[in-house]
Structure 1
Amino acid sequence: AAAGAVNELAAQHSPLSHQNAPACTIVSSVIAAGILTVGWIGDSRAYWVPDDRAAPSARLTEDDSWAAQMVAAGLMSEADAYADERAHAITGWLGADAHELDPHTASFKPDGPGVVIVCTDGLWNYAEAAAELAAAVPPDAAVRPLHAAQVLVGHALDGGGHDNVTVAVLPFPGPAGGAGPS
């Protein structure tokens, strides 16, 4: 549905719109029956941050990017790949000019309560590692998710943010213990 909506934007413009078609990345998270599911295309990310900060945080997604492909193929170290000027060139996106759509999904059953952070590179460029991002998340994020998202946007802007900064914070297990979808 998201791909169709982005493609429709291209159809509403001139016949040459395929040369500079509207495009975007996407990341989503759903909680149902105590299971956390994420889906994504591109370089927008999802992170797990447990309420017990002694437990490890984790990045839940893998980028569709040049750098990620180089690392996955064993051609470069992560540090070298991300230092390259091509690092953030995305290899997957939604849009009329996108290659065959191959959305990614993954499901998890966290050991305890926490929050899922879904964000664009406008945030994670300033807190890329899961531990770095977790350090920027307020301790009351699960009960004040909007405030936590605002704090994270502020973190990116204070770091010199120059890209779009989009952040959502989803408490887990969510309302009513995660019994229904969130």
Structure 2
Amino acid sequence: MTETSPPAPAPTPGARLTCPSCGAEVTDAERFCEACGAPLSPTTEAVAPGGAGAESPVELSGRVGATAVGAAPAPPAPAAGPPCTSCGGVVDADGYCTTCGTKAPSPRDHYVEQPATWVAAVCDRGIRHHKNEDATAVAADPEPGSRAVLVVCDGVSTSTDSDVAALAGARTARDVLVAARASGLGVAASRAAALAQSLGVASAQANEAVIANTAPESDNAASCTFAAAVLEGDLVVFGTVGDSRVYWLPDAGAGDPLQLSVDDSMAQVRIEMGVDRVEAENGPQAHAITKWLGRDSTDVVPRTGSIALGVPGWLMVCSDGLWNYCSSAADLQALVATTQAETGADPLPLARALVVWANAQGGRDNISVALARHA
């Protein structure tokens, strides 16, 4: 049984609430700060100027820590946001245009990450969903081709608070895998086994993070998929739960592209029964997953595997918002090659262009693309 902290007391009715990251005023119903985009889990009662402070929660890359404070200064005024995208009017502190009433886009709707020149990720709401329940979390050493961690979690849209839970899960898994360096293991098989074990730990801890971001009284618990890959030189070790995927896409003519992961989905069940891939992935309940992370999950052990890379190409981890439109590894390799011819080999413009392409195909789901370049 996991021991959890008791819930924070409810704010006093009428009390002013602030974002723990930037001090902007928020409401107790908001999950993300409209001023800076930080997750609001939890929001905190504002400390009166000059009042004595104890320890207050502070969001650091998705983890709640504690910092000692003394006399708390008055919270800074929120920076002026961009004008309304509909009419150019002023967007108020509540995130709505004071002229036409349109809600401003949330920073959570679209964000990018590029921890090193050779690794990047783009996460986008898509066109049809009203919020982004995908999440990416990536890390990399500075030297190209040295070590990278790519994580994608796709929140299940039919469950509650999956956007918050997926982000917490992805960041937790990334941190576990960043720390999991198989030092002293010079044999590739030993390194692969150690990293596969770390992927199991990462999935389990990501599951705990998802649960921690699920309201205890929720009868529709937050849930998400899990896909992660670690690149160390020529070695890739990967693990998945659900139907987010890991692909190896060599440069055109350099080798055969591969879908490394195997989905936990009804479509995969039908494929294993002999149904044609295209038919299975477009049939009834094709995207119903058979494993996931969340409080109501019975199995969060990832399917793992490894591969040695001998040629240049792209390691990709993505959600079904991309592969919905380009499922086979051969088709995805061709798409990446065509897109790279226009964007160049920088992973961030390439990932952005792939997201734009998926939206142009209909954007019916959230889209996540994480890339690492192997030269």
TM-score (norm 1): 0.84
User: 1-side partners of 2:344 and 2:264: how far apart?
Assistant: 29
Contact between 1:66 and 1:88, CA under 8 Å: does it hold in 2?
A: yes
Give 1:155 shift: 1.1
Indicate if the aligned counterparts of 1:115 and 1:171 stay in contact, CA closer than 8 A: yes
Do the aligned partners of 1:43 and 1:90 also contact (CA within 8 Å) in 2? yes
1:162 corresponding residue in structure 2: 364
Cross-structure match for 2:120: none
1:126 aligns with 2:333: no
State percent identity of aligned pairs.
38
Distance 1:111 1:52 in 2: 14
- Aligned-pair CA distance for 1:14: 4.3
- 1:113 maps to what in 2? 312
Distance 1:143 1:79, change over 3 A: closer
**Which one has a bigger Cα radius of gyration?**
2
Unaligned runs of 5+ in 2: 1-204
SS of residue in 1 equivalent to 2:340: coil
Report the CA distance between 1:121 and its aligned residue.
0.3
The AA in structure 2 aligned to 1:44 is: S
Name the counterpart of 1:96: 295
How far apart, CA to CA, are the structure 2 residues paired with 1:104 and 1:142?
Answer: 33
Q: What is the DSSP-based 3-state SS (H/G/I as helix, E as strand, rest coil) of the residue aligned with 2:228?
A: strand
SS at match of 1:107: strand
Partner of 2:206: 2
- Out of 128, 131, 150, the residue aligned to residue 352 of structure 2 is 150
On the 8 A contact 2:355/2:369 being kept in 1, the answer is yes
The question of whether the paired residues in 2 share the 8 Å contact of 1:44 and 1:119 is answered with yes
After superposition, the C-alpha distances for 1:115-150 in whole angstroms (9 at most, x for unaligned) are: 111100000001111121112213368841111110
RMSD between superposed Cα atoms in Å: 1.9
Distance 1:154 1:132 in 2: 17
8 Å contact kept, 2:245–2:259? yes
**Taking structure 1 as reference, are residues 58 and 75 closer, same or farther at Cα in structure 2, changes over 3 Å only?**
closer
The size of the alignment, in residue pairs, is 168
Range with bigger deviation, 137-146 or 63-72: 137-146
* Change in 2 beyond 3 A, CA 1:143/1:83: closer
Question: Deviation of residue 81 (structure 1)?
Answer: 2.2
Q: Give the structure 2 partner of residue 180 of structure 1.
A: none
- Post-superposition Cα deviations, 1:149-181, rounded to whole Å, max 9, x if no partner, equal 1011011001111100011111125xxxxxxxx
Separation (CA, whole Å) in 1 of partners of 2:222 and 2:253: 39
Q: What is the match of residue 86 of structure 2?
A: none
Aligned residue number for residue 78 of structure 1: 277
Amino acid at match of 1:7: I
The reply on whether 1:139 has 2:343 as its aligned counterpart is: no
| 1:23 paired residue number | 223
Provide the rounded CA distance (Å) in 2 between the counterparts of 1:114 and 1:69: 30
Gaps of 5+ in 1: 174-182
Aligned to 1:62: 262
